[in-house]
Amino acid sequence: KQEVTQIPAALSVPEGENLVLNCSFTDSAIYNLQWFRQDPGKGLTSLLLIQSSQREQTSGRLNASLDKSSGRSTLYIAASQPGDSATYLCAVLGGSNYQLIWGAGTKLIIKP
Partner 1 sequence: DVKVTQSSRYLVKRTGEKVFLECVQDMDHENMFWYRQDPGLGLRLIYFSYDVKMKEKGDIPEGYSVSREKKERFSLILESASTNQTSMYLCASSLNWVAGLAKNIQYFGAGTRLSVL
For partner 1, the binding residues (CB under 8 A) are 4, 9, 31-32, 34, 36, 41-46, 49, 51-53, 89, 91, 93, 97-100, 102-105
Considering the complex, what minimum distance in angstroms separates the CB of residue 79 from partner 1? 26
Strand partners, 7: 22
Question: Which residue, 50 or 110, has its beta carbon nearer to partner 1?
Answer: 50
Question: Which residue, 9 or 79, has its beta carbon nearer to partner 1?
Answer: 9
Question: Which residue, 36 or 84, has its beta carbon nearer to partner 1?
Answer: 36
Considering the complex, what minimum distance in angstroms separates the CB of residue 91 from partner 1? 8
Q: Which residues contact 110 (CB under 8 A, 6 or more apart)?
A: 12, 13, 14, 15, 80, 81, 82, 83, 84, 85
Angle at 99 between CA 43 and CA 73, to 5 degrees: 75
* Ordered strands of the 72-77 beta sheet: 4-7, 19-25, 72-77, 62-67, 56-59
Question: Which residue, 41 or 60, has its beta carbon nearer to partner 1?
Answer: 41
Considering the complex, what minimum distance in angstroms separates the CB of residue 42 from partner 1? 6
Considering the complex, what minimum distance in angstroms separates the CB of residue 93 from partner 1? 6
Q: 30, 24 in Cβ contact below 8 A?
A: no
